[in-house]
Amino acid sequence: MLGLYVHIPFCNQVCPYCDFFKMVASKERKKMFVDALLAEMKLKNLHNYQFDTLYIGGGSPSSLEITMLEKILIRLDEVVNLALLKEFTIEVNPLEITEELIKLFVKYHVSRLSIGVQTLNPRLQKIINRPLTTELLQTKIAIVKKYGIANINLDLLYAIPSETWEEFCEDLEKITSFDVPHLSCYSLILEEHTIFYHQFQKKQLTLIDEKMEAKMYHHLCNFLKTQKFIHYETSNFARKGYESIHNLIYWNCDEYVALGPGASSYLDNYRFKTISNLQSYFEGLKNQTIILEEKIKITNEEKQKEAIMLGLRKCQGLSLTKFFEDFNVSIFEVFPAINQLLEEKLLKIKGDYLFIPNKYFYISNYIINKII
Ligand code: SF4
């Protein structure tokens, strides 16, 4: 499998917890970005690859004007043939969904929409600066479905500073009432260089304690199971057949090409990251160059560790046969700590798969660190 990712580094407003490469920008800057992105596509000779999936994320792709989005989609269609993709996802801010936008997506074969909801609780929305009523979300989802896009993901954020147990449970019930086949549920992580980080340092922000966060995670997993969602990755839940094909490319350590500033590609044993600076990105492309922030050759040892780190994020776990075929060595020889973790029942084997049992998913970082 081979994926293509396009990073749109703009949002109409910046959320206080977000550390993605994004900014609020003028129409002029956005236009310059679109031209630079098209130049990058040309330099990367995209027509030489056979992509299975395309994911346009950010930032917030829907913060671009329709004409700008169409310019990008036209060129992508010329070099990728969008109709042949197994999955084509675009991230959208629910407030930016319009009939015109969805019609454009359908015209260019978008098959999956990822909608950043985060929370439907008005008090928590104020804290993270993301207003959205349940009724409005209902209307927006109806527009998406009206034009035939049924494969919809909703993002839910939990463990928001000061969030109570009751608020969390209510949010979870609301988010499952929309009849969509995919949910991504992430706990709020305090990242450096964010507004929340500065507020926390000034003691203006109280974080949710670890025990409560663990309790929320367990409830999330159990509740979504009762709602017939399959828990297929640490933070991702889908109805049967709606698992994200593009995200599975990352978790299966398959290759992907990325476009846009700050975006990372993984190809031919190298990881490349394009410069996370819009001005440098523009200047590079003016001179027919993609300025990189990072280019790292991934050694065999690092690949084995990545196979563990990413493979064990999936609830199914990682295939022992695939590991042997990829590296020509038994996983138990390279990582002897696995035997001890199996004895302690922190890891299990079912058929060909090594996995972390559901009840220990919350400490998966601890288990993976023990292994590698
Ligand atoms: S969370 Fe999404 S919408 Fe908010 S600033 Fe980050 S990328 Fe933009």
Given a cut of 90, whether residue 50 has pLDDT beyond it is: yes
Q: Do residues 95 and 132 make contact, with C-beta atoms less than 8 angstroms apart?
A: yes
Give the closest residue (by CA) to ligand 1 atom 6. 18
Mind listing the pLDDT tens digit for each residue in 126-162? 999 999 999 999 999 999 999 999 999 999 999 999 9
Percent of the chain residues topping a pLDDT of 70: 100
Q: Which atom of ligand 1 is nearest to the CA of 13?
A: 5
Percent of the chain residues topping a pLDDT of 90: 98
Q: How far apart are CA 213 and CA 363, in angstroms?
A: 12
pLDDT, mean of residues 16-20: 95
Ligand 1, residues 7, 8, 21, 22: which to mutate, most atoms within 8 A of Cβ? 22
Q: How far apart are CA 359 and CA 329, in angstroms?
A: 30
Give the closest residue (by CA) to ligand 1 atom 7. 59
Burial class (CB in 10 A: 0-12, 13-18, 19+), 321: exposed
Q: How far apart are CA 177 and CA 112, in angstroms?
A: 19
Q: How far is the CA of 9 from the centre of ligand 1 (A)?
A: 9
Alpha carbon 16 to chain centroid, angstroms = 18
Q: Which atom of ligand 1 is nearest to the CA of 18?
A: 6
Helix 66-80 × helix 99-107 angle, to 10°:
10
Name all residues whose Cβ lies below 6 A of ligand 1.
11, 14-15, 18, 20, 22, 58-60, 93, 116
Q: How many Cα neighbours within 13 Å face the side chain of 58?
A: 24
Q: How far apart are CA 233 and CA 312, in angstroms?
A: 9
Mind listing the pLDDT tens digit for each residue in 270-310? 999 999 999 999 999 999 999 999 999 999 999 999 999 99
Q: How far apart are CA 333 and CA 242, in angstroms?
A: 35
Instruction: For residue 55, give the nearest of 13, 130, 2, 126 by alpha carbon.
Output: 2
Give the closest residue (by CA) to ligand 1 atom 2. 59
Q: How far is the CA of 115 from the centre of ligand 1 (A)?
A: 11
Q: How far is the CA of 275 from the centre of ligand 1 (A)?
A: 19
Give residue 116's pLDDT.
97
Q: How far is the CA of 279 from the centre of ligand 1 (A)?
A: 20
Q: How far is the CA of 73 from the centre of ligand 1 (A)?
A: 22
Give residue 94's pLDDT.
97
Q: How far is the CA of 27 from the centre of ligand 1 (A)?
A: 18
Instruction: For residue 368, give the nearest of 339, 347, 350, 345 by alpha carbon.
Output: 347
Give residue 359's pLDDT.
87
Q: Which atom of ligand 1 is nearest to the CA of 93?
A: 3
CATH topology of domain 2-250: pyruvate-formate lyase- activating enzyme (3.80.30)
Count of residues in the chain: 372
pLDDT, mean of residues 22-46: 97
Given a cut of 90, whether residue 29 has pLDDT beyond it is: yes
Give residue 362's pLDDT.
87
Residue 346 is given by DSSP the state S
Q: Do residues 98 and 106 make contact, with C-beta atoms less than 8 angstroms apart?
A: no
Average pLDDT, the chain: 96
Give residue 133's pLDDT.
96
* Dihedral pair phi/psi, residue 346, rounded to 5°: -80, -15
Q: How far is the CA of 59 from the centre of ligand 1 (A)?
A: 5
Least confident of 165-179, 252-266, 358-372: 358-372
pLDDT, mean of residues 86-109: 98
DSSP secondary structure of 168-209: HHHHHHHHGGG--SEEEEEE----TTSHHHHHHHTT---PPP
Ligand 1, residues 10, 13, 14, 189: which to mutate, most atoms within 8 A of Cβ? 14
Spans of all domains in the chain: 2-250, 310-371
Burial class (CB in 10 A: 0-12, 13-18, 19+), 311: buried
